[in-house]
């Protein structure tokens, strides 16, 4: 029998399930009734392997959406995040902030190396509702300022 997940992990599971379901429908155009819709796949995974293992898959899928969303400009991300907020779902920018390994590497390195990294950091700064702390915002803003003034 599978172990019961903590309340925190249950909340994360539910939040990521809602996020991924909305992302697949809204951003990828997958019909929610389709067997290939991630939420339908998730139900099978939960049945076969349990919620804890399915949460690992949800986290990986969230990281995949972060990579997919890197193609959007800050203005596009703002509009997309608005759709998610209106639907009562955590925003793409918030998921990016929470799960992005790239963002952590940029902060640890202390420099933005390219345009993709610039848009990643800028997207987190632009989304005022994503839960980024004041200290995190200051660090990210300094990285942006340094990047923008670099020749």
**pLDDT number for residue 102:** 78
Q: 41-91: per-residue pLDDT in tens? A: 999 999 999 998 899 889 888 878 887 887 888 889 899 999 999 999 999
Answer yes or no: is 81 within a domain.
yes
The model's confidence at residue 2, banded by pLDDT at 50, 70 and 90, is low
115 and 140, same domain (yes or no) = yes
**Best CA proximity match to 126, nearest among 150, 96, 104:** 96
CA dist 45 and 51 (Å) reads 8
Q: Spell out a b/e string for 76-100, using b for 16 or more CB atoms within 10 Å of the CB, else e.
A: ebbebbeebeeeebbbbbbbbbbbb
Q: 18-44: per-residue pLDDT in tens? A: 999 999 999 999 999 999 999 999 999
Which pTM value belongs to this model?
A: 0.70
Q: Indicate the residue among 38, 69, 100 that finishes a domain.
A: 69
127 and 95, same domain (yes or no) = yes
12 and 58, same domain (yes or no) = yes
> What domain range is 115 assigned to?
75-151
Tokens of 87: 């639907």
């Amino acid at each position: 029998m599978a172990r019961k997940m903590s309340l925190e992990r249950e909340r994360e599971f539910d939040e990521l399930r809602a996020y991924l379901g909305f992302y697949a429908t809204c951003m990828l155009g997958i019909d929610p009734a389709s067997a290939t819709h991630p939420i339908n796949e998730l139900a099978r995974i939960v049945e076969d392997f349990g919620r804890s293992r399915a949460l690992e898959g949800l986290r990986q899928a969230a990281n995949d959406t972060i990579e997919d969303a890197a193609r959007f400009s800050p203005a596009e991300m703002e509009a997309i995040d608005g759709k998610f907020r209106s639907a009562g779902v955590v925003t793409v920018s918030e998921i990016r902030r929470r799960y992005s390994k790239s963002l952590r590497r940029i902060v640890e390195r202390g420099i933005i190396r390219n345009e993709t990294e610039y848009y990643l950091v800028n997207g987190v700064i632009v989304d005022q509702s994503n839960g980024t702390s004041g200290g995190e915002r200051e660090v990210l803003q300094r990285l942006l300022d340094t990047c923008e003034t670099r020749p």
